[in-house]
Amino acid sequence: MKSKWRLPLIIVLVAVGLGGTLVYFRSPPPVNLLLITLDTTRADRLGCYGYTQALTPELDALAKNGVLFERAYAPAPMTSPSHTSIMTGLWPPEHGVNTNALTVLDPSIPTIAELLQARGYATAAFPAASMLAARFGLNRGFQTYFDDLSDPKTGADRMQRSRDGRYIADLSIQWLKEQQQADDAPFFCWLHFYDPHDPYNFHPQEFDAKFRERPYDAELAYVDRQIGRIMDELEQLGELKNTVIVIAGDHGESLGEHGEDMHGYLLHESTLRVPLIIANHAQAKAGHRVATPVSLIDLFPTLLEIGGVEPPGDSKLRRLQPALQGNPLAPRFCYSQTVEPYLQAFWSPLQSLTNERWRYVRTTQPELYDLTADPQELVNLASTEPDLVSELDGELTAYEEKFQIRTGTQVKLSTQEQRVLESLGYAGGSSAKEDPRDASDRPDAKDMIGYLNQFNRAVHLIDDRNFDEAAILLEPLARDVPNFHRARLNLAQCRIYQKKYADAILWCKAALEIDPDSARGYEMMGYSQLKLRELEPAEKNFLRLIELQPDSENGHLYLAEVYQRQEKFPLAMQHYENVLRINPRNAAASGVLDALRAALGSP
Ligand SMILES: [Zn+2]
């Protein structure tokens, strides 16, 4: 990573096969680039953003020595869309990753890692949560993409949903050491800390009882300590001076504000305003604070320029470099959106525009806040300022019309993977196909937020395998709240664990009335019917499931079981073979298949 690495001081043209030609600058001395994303981190809960109860000395020191952006906004209050925007410089409708763990990033869209790797950077990423796994496409350009979330000591629980920040630090420190030994190239390393995401742990082993009443702050303090360990390591390796450090939150956390417990359903400062710090940049004016609103998508051209790569041409890209020296930035259109209310129950999705003074949120009942006079967004001015609302709505519409919309291809998830994501409360796997923008008369997420919170509490109980209590919370949502198909599906899931199969079938039917393409609905209904020996309807539902998801491991497995019980052995064998094609390690399928072959005398 040091002196041996040289780029010729000539202009090199590189066709990257991504629809664009990149021109390399006359190269500045190569620097390392360390991007640290902090999941679920509100800017206003860090010391450097003025929170006096914080214990974030490392982040505060980086801000003191670097440049802090007072108003950095996430393009979505969700992990996958926001990270994808950082890595591509595109708004969520443009990169097509609108929610967690549903779609794969379009391979024709260039990422920071690909462009830096082509420039000669050694690249590595340490994502800490399942929705950033390689299969969703952000691994492109990373030579090392460490998305195995199992416990590195015991190897246990490969399906763990997230990884403790201590391990992210351990693994990245190990990589930094090995990298220094092995390679002279500069590095681009991305670390992701998921700890501040719920459920919050007050980390008594680190802080005793200091944070017992403030576990969210404990998670931030815990992550700060891990960042400190990485800074110490860079110092010891002699790399700190030559490493630009970029700290960014992916979205915030409502912590009860505006009625929202966590994040994902509403668009406010609490979930959109995130920390953004750039430290150790040669041009950075130490301690400078930038007041202009910026978006996380601005990181794409900014990081590429640090790496000496000309960003692919696009007029909307804006580098943050001028601000590092205290120069003004051009005003930025800060777009944000969420489709979660739509994915949960076909309720209105939200889009927002944030400028120097205003936040406008487009939804069934629009919102307008004067962020200068009312930074907590307590007074919705939409009804008193109708002209301003229509002006901002026009601006938002005009901006959206320039989007090159992509839908992304649906990722194939095993049933187990899907359950893991559902256990996080996300809508992964929903089959909603309509354009969510056509939403003028849908229920407004503001009115439904209490139900969404209750749904998330039930999801946590399911995660703890407390199906009885989860069902108590879900039943009124499933029965009384219009269109809440995921509440109905989750209630069906509880009924299956409670062995109340007839009731599970009723709730699956109720969910499929709202979302007739729900693979999960057909799977659970077929499973319940199989348990009740209703083989013909079970067969019908499993056939529908594999029509929707041809690689559904469970779909083929259960269908094979139906045929076995009906003594249609050749069909049963065919579907067991399908299971093994999808997952060669499925022991149940290979055991039965061997037995059937032996019994029927086939090879
Ligand atoms: Zn996140």
Residue 332 is predicted with a pLDDT of 84
Digit-coded pLDDT (tens) for 68-111: 999 999 999 999 999 999 999 999 999 999 998 888 999 999 99
Q: Is the pLDDT of residue 175 over 50?
A: yes
Q: From residue 263, how far is each of 79, 317, 449, 533 by CA, in Å? A: 10, 27, 11, 42
Of 161-165, 248-252, 327-331, the range with the lowest mean pLDDT is 161-165
Tally of CB atoms within 10 A around 386: 12
Asked whether the beta carbons of 562 and 544 are under 8 A apart, the reply is no
Q: What is the pLDDT of residue 479?
A: 96
Grade residue 417 by pLDDT with cuts at 50, 70 and 90. low
In the chain, count of helices (H) and strands (E)? Answer: 22, 19
What separation in Å is there between the alpha carbon of 252 and the centre of ligand 1? 8
Of 16-30, 92-106, 200-214, 244-258, the range with the lowest mean pLDDT is 16-30
The confidence score (pLDDT) of residue 214 equals 97
Residue 81 Cα, ligand 1 centroid: separation in angstroms?
9
Average pLDDT over residues 246-250: 98
**21: confidence class by pLDDT, cuts 50, 70, 90:** very low
pLDDT number for residue 314 = 65
Does the pLDDT of residue 153 top 70, yes or no? no
Per CATH, the architecture of 13-342 is what? Answer: 3-Layer(aba) Sandwich (3.40)
Residue 4: predicted pLDDT: 41
pLDDT at 160 over 50: yes
The alpha carbon of 151 and the centre of ligand 1 are apart by a number of angstroms equal to 21
More confident residue, 427 or 391: 391
Amino acid 422: pLDDT: 58
Burial of 57 (0-12, 13-18, 19+ CB in 10 A): middle
Tell me how far CA of residue 461 lies from CA of 199, 255, 423, 458, in angstroms.
12, 19, 9, 5
CA of 509 from ligand 1 middle (Å) equals: 33
The tens digit of pLDDT for each residue in 191-220 reads: 999 999 988 999 999 999 999 999 999 999
Q: Tell me, in angstroms, the distance from the centre of ligand 1 to residue 79's CA.
A: 3
Cα(283)–Cα(320) distance, integer angstroms: 11
pTM over 0.95: no
Contacts of 452-458 spanning 24+ positions with Cβ under 8 A? 452/260, 452/265, 452/341, 452/344, 453/259, 453/260, 453/261, 455/344, 455/425, 455/484, 455/486, 455/487, 455/490, 456/261, 456/262, 456/425, 457/261, 458/487, 458/490
Contact 490, 422 (CB under 8 A): yes
**What is the distance in A from the centroid of ligand 1 to the CA of 128?**
10
Ligand 1 center from residue 163 Cα (angstroms): 13
Lowest mean pLDDT among 304-318, 430-444, 489-503, 573-587: 430-444
* Predicted pLDDT at 603: 54
**What residue segments make up the domains of the chain, in order of their start?**
13-342, 357-401, 413-600
What's the whole-number mean pLDDT along residues 465-479? Answer: 96
Q: How far is CA 241 from CA 59, 276, 280, 303, in A?
A: 17, 20, 7, 17
Instruction: Give distance in angstroms: CA of 373 to centre of ligand 1.
Output: 29
- The Å distance, Cα 37 to ligand 1 centre, comes to 9
Q: In this prediction, what percent of the chain has a pLDDT beyond 90?
A: 74
Instruction: State which of 9-23, 38-52, 125-139 shows the largest mean pLDDT.
Output: 38-52
Inform me whether the pLDDT recorded for 259 exceeds 90: yes
Query: What is the reported pLDDT for 221?
Result: 98
Residues with CB under 5 A from ligand 1 (ion): 39, 79, 250
Answer whether 13-342 and 413-600 agree in fold: no
Residue 477: what pLDDT?
96
CA of 399 to the centre of ligand 1 (A): 25
Q: Is 60 exceeded by the pLDDT of residue 2?
A: no
435 contacts: CB under 8 Å, gap ≥ 6: none
Residues 6 or more apart in contact with residue 127 via CB below 8 angstroms? 133, 138, 145, 146, 147, 190, 192
pLDDT band at 466 (very low <50, low <70, confident <90, very high): very high
Choose between 292 and 182: higher pLDDT. 292
pLDDT digits (tens, 9 = 90+) for 218-242: 999 999 999 999 999 999 999 999 9
CA of 12 to the centre of ligand 1 (A): 37
* pLDDT over 70, % of the chain: 88
pLDDT at 525 over 80: yes
Using the predicted structure, report yes or no on whether residue 421 has a pLDDT greater than 80. no
Q: How far, in Å, is the centroid of ligand 1 from the Cα of 402?
A: 27
Q: Which residue has the higher pLDDT, 76 or 515?
A: 76
Q: What is the CATH number of domain 413-600?
A: 1.25.40.10
Distance from residue 359's CA to the centre of ligand 1 (Å): 22
Q: What is the mean pLDDT of residues 480-488?
A: 92
* pLDDT score recorded for residue 41: 98
CA distance from start to end of the chain = 56
466 CA → ligand 1 middle, Å? 25
Q: Decide if pLDDT at 10 tops 50.
A: no
State the distance from the centre of ligand 1 to the C-alpha of 468, rounded, in angstroms: 29
Rounded to the nearest integer, the mean pLDDT of the chain is 89
Q: What pLDDT score does 14 carry?
A: 40
pLDDT at 434: 44
